[in-house]
A and B are shown apart, each in its own frame.
Chain A
Amino acid sequence: MSGMNEIILEAKGIYKSFSGVPVLQDVHFDVRKGEVHALMGENGAGKSTLIKIITGVYSKDAGTIEWEGKPVEINNYQDCQKLGVACIYQELSVIPPLTVAQNVFLGREPRTFGLIDYAKMNRMTQELIDRYQFPLHPATLVENLGMGQRQLIEILKGLSQNSKLLIMDEPTASLSGKEAETLFHIIETLRSEGVSVIYISHRLEEVYRLSDRLTILRDGQNAAVLNREEIVPKKVIATMIGKIVDESAGSKKMLHSDDTAPVRLEVKDLTDPADRYRHISFQVHRGEILGLGGLIGAGRTEVVRAIYGVDKAKSGEVILDGQKMNPSPKTSIAAGIGFVPEDRRSQGFIPLLSTTRNIALTNYDIIRKKGAAVSYADELAMSKKAIKDIDIRPADPDKEVGVMSGGNQQKVVLGKWLMRDLKLLIVDEPTAGIDVGAKNEIYEILENLAKQGVAIILVSSDLQELIRVSHRILVMRKGDVVKEFKNEIVTQSRVLSAGQGILDEEEAQA
């Protein structure tokens, strides 16, 4: 244990703000040699920003970074690699048509007489594989491997460059249970070999299992550094949310839902072909806002996409107003289902088109036609109505949506659905990256819709938002609905705990 306390990386007094908004304030973070150091925090707590500063993607406003006791400047990823830091990207950077060995030694292939020595390269890769016990073979083509194994190649690549510190950002997000288990095993081997790991995760049980220490960030500040024996679920959750949790608005609410209202949507036994969710059944009543909580990757987005029909479920039924649906975007739109997707910019609207065109896009079936052409007067009237109804700014129907603020872009996306006779509206992370003022306006739009009898499914990772807007909350975890909060007092920590798989004791008895 003696060598274990040597600090390999230390970030001191890190400040960073984006356009005047502080994101990191006096953050301290250190990693010891041969430790797995977890980094946790809610969305927006500053984890990614901190990592991006360490890897040289962002520059820091103030503070120092020390590597093995010496101050260093990291300005780009190459600097980082030179020091011996490897980042395992969420979005994988392996090259599918090449072999495992070719990927590991890309750009550094061993050569004899100028030609790549494949035998030697495969042998070197095999040595690494044997040393860290990776379930890989050097000559396999990467395109034949699953996501988990591709991730292992990235790790192997880092190790082949003698990296002393690996940074893993949500490494299990796209892995199956077995793949994750393999990864954990490998992380443990790395630790015993003296490699340090920064492990960013939302999943408490992973952090609990793997980490030697845990740094928790909250609102861009250090909330706590916990040693292994201090990593207790309740304590971690309380630290992440903050002590003042119970006083702050929107962190606690009495839920009310009206079961007597007619059922608008019934989902029966919905199961995913790729097993990202299974046997999902629930109902949404008229005028009800159903919140879907849980961690990122719990399968919430996949469920709502299947209800809307963008992706197909393997089995199960979707019943809208007693009518069995055969979900596809076209039939869903016709039946009165609206869908506001998670990734606004790439799925929600078309940046180069005007407000008018974006709003008209899903509504051409209800816009009058003049012969073969569309009535522009009608398009414009619809656009003006949307601008007025939900206060889209700038109030210019011809403005390209791409140049508008995030909040107004989202209003345009919502606006196109509001022009229809909606029965059910699905919103997935509707306020991600939107300022507070616009958030409130969007909540009001949702609440007004509910009052008019529209059923709403809200997927949100923002606990405050989930609790504030929802009438009833379902929490998903690893593809199952694990908890329902209904007509009871709900707090952020109860929702977060349920998402982590920790159910209340009193609930467990009931």
Chain B
Amino acid sequence: MKKMKQTTLRRFISLGLLLVLIILFAILGGGLFFNADNFIEIVRDASVVGIVGVGVTMAIITAGIDLSTGSVMALVAMTMANIYAYTLWPIPVMIILGILVGIAAGLCNGYIIGYLHVPEFIGTLATMGIFRSLTYIIAITDDNGVIQSQPMTVYGFASLGYAAGYFYLVTIAMIVFIIVGQIVLKFTRFGTNVYAVGANKKAARLSGIKVEKTQLIVYGISGFCCAVGGIFTAARLQSATAAIGDGFEFDPIAAAVVGGVALSGGSGDVVGTLIGALFMATLKNGVLKLNMNTAYQYVIKGVIIILVVMFDSAYKAHMDRLAKERGAKEGAEE
């Protein structure tokens, strides 16, 4: 009984935040903001954050973080650009190789964190730089060595940026990722292990869970999600540049936090992160549509994240106190 109450309350809060934002922009912007096309646009914007957010959410649930997401996206896109520019390999092969590079980059993070025992924040901060550097090293240059954007306009690839019916393909992919991610977290042993590792590493180990392996897989998944995010981003731009995903890492983390994934680990899910991603996309869209100075959106994002984290820690303290009092009360009564 209690279980439903607590997690649904947190879900209502993130949904409520999203709703308040939509209502606010609808009042301020009217039809300019509040129309079906615009909502499809918002969801499209949220899609890459949602896809990458699946991996980032898992990392945060293990009490970790992944700061390298934007760089992995760029590395994947640039790998594909090289294949596109210099080989005649078919598009599916190019995409698969891109995905493999993403998974490899993620496993790299997982190995550094799980087996070399580098703290998650530092480990992925370092690889964020490393992957970005690699991207610049393999970037396509002109004859004078100046880095160039590589157009990737062939229909077989660019069509990934198109819509099928009402929804963009990227949105459909995002929905698949969220559903699969939610099932993995909630209905597989691996998913339970992810929560256990994040909530109490020592206890997880005592229960026979291989903590390092769990971390390795989680960051591998995150790398896979980044690869898919990178592919859709390049397809939408119909080109790849070394600067893809620069500063992107902030968005999935912010989405997870707004969606109720506790940075201390052990709680949250990808559906929450989806709500958070929609919130972030709505914010960005509204600020644009209302002709506000876009610089403000980072202030608003930052303030909202601080408020949400403040709420979460206060809420956690409150729940801990309740649990303690409940224990004491059971002792006193009866």
Which residue numbers of A lie inside 8 Å of B, CB to CB? 77-78, 81, 89, 92-99, 102, 106-107, 109, 111, 114-116, 118, 139-141, 143-149, 157, 175-179, 274-275
Given A106-B192, A109-B189; A147-B2 close (CB under 8 Å): no
Given A95-B204, A107-B207, A144-B326; A178-B332 close (CB under 8 Å): yes
The interface residues of chain A lying within 8 Å CB-to-CB of B195 are: 95, 97-98
| Separation of A173 and B3 alpha carbons in the complex (Å) | 28
Other than the given A93-B200, A95-B200, A139-B3, 17 more pairs (CB < 8 A) read A81-B208, A95-B203, A106-B209, A107-B207, A109-B189, A111-B189, A116-B189, A118-B187, A143-B320, A144-B326, A145-B323, A146-B326, A146-B328, A147-B327, A148-B330, A176-B330, A178-B330
Q: Contact: A179 with B327, CB < 8 Å? A: yes
Interface string of B315-333 (1 = CB under 8 A from A): 0000110111111101111
Q: Is B193 an interface residue (CB 8 A)?
A: yes
Q: Is B226 an interface residue (CB 8 A)?
A: no
Task: Please give the distance in Å from A115's CB to the nearest CB on chain B.
Answer: 4
The interface residues of chain B lying within 8 Å CB-to-CB of A98 are: 192, 195-196, 199
Per a CB cutoff under 8 Å, which of B6, B187, B209 touches A144?
A: B6
Chain A minimum-CB-distance residue to B3: A141
Residue of B187, B204, B326 most packed against chain A (CB within 10 A): B187
Q: Contact: B2 with A102, CB < 8 Å? A: no
The interface residues of chain A lying within 8 Å CB-to-CB of B334 are: 178
Per a CB cutoff under 8 Å, which of A77, A139, A148, A157 touches B327?
A: A148
- Chain B interface size, under 10 / 10 to 19 / 20 to 34 / 35 or more: 35 or more
Q: Contact: A176 with B206, CB < 8 Å? A: no
Which residues of B, 182-215, contact A by the 8 Å Cβ criterion?
Answer: 183, 187-189, 192-193, 195-196, 199-200, 202-204, 206-209
Which residue numbers of B lie inside 8 Å of A, CB to CB? 1-3, 6, 183, 187-189, 192-193, 195-196, 199-200, 202-204, 206-209, 266-267, 319-320, 322-328, 330-334
Per a CB cutoff under 8 Å, which of A81, A97, A111, A148 touches B199?
A: A97
Q: Contact: B326 with A96, CB < 8 Å? A: no
Q: Contact: A146 with B330, CB < 8 Å? A: yes
Q: Contact: B209 with A107, CB < 8 Å? A: yes
Per a CB cutoff under 8 Å, which of B1, B2, B207, B331 touches A93?
A: B207
| Separation of A81 and B206 alpha carbons in the complex (Å) | 10
The interface residues of chain B lying within 8 Å CB-to-CB of A78 are: 208
Could you write out 28 A-B pairs with CB less than 8 Å apart? A77-B206, A96-B266, A97-B195, A97-B199, A98-B196, A106-B204, A107-B208, A109-B192, A116-B187, A116-B188, A141-B2, A141-B3, A141-B6, A143-B6, A143-B323, A144-B3, A145-B326, A146-B326, A146-B327, A146-B330, A148-B331, A175-B331, A176-B330, A176-B331, A177-B331, A178-B332, A178-B334, A179-B330
Task: Please give the distance in Å from B161's CB to the nearest CB on chain A.
Answer: 34
Task: Please give the distance in Å from A257's CB to the nearest CB on chain B.
Answer: 36
| Separation of A111 and B204 alpha carbons in the complex (Å) | 19
The interface residues of chain B lying within 8 Å CB-to-CB of A102 are: 192
Q: Contact: A274 with B328, CB < 8 Å? A: yes
Per a CB cutoff under 8 Å, which of A81, A92, A107 touches B189?
A: A107
Task: Please give the distance in Å from A360's CB to the nearest CB on chain B.
Answer: 30
Task: Please give the distance in Å from B215's CB to the nearest CB on chain A.
Answer: 16
The interface residues of chain B lying within 8 Å CB-to-CB of A89 are: 206
Q: Contact: A176 with B323, CB < 8 Å? A: no
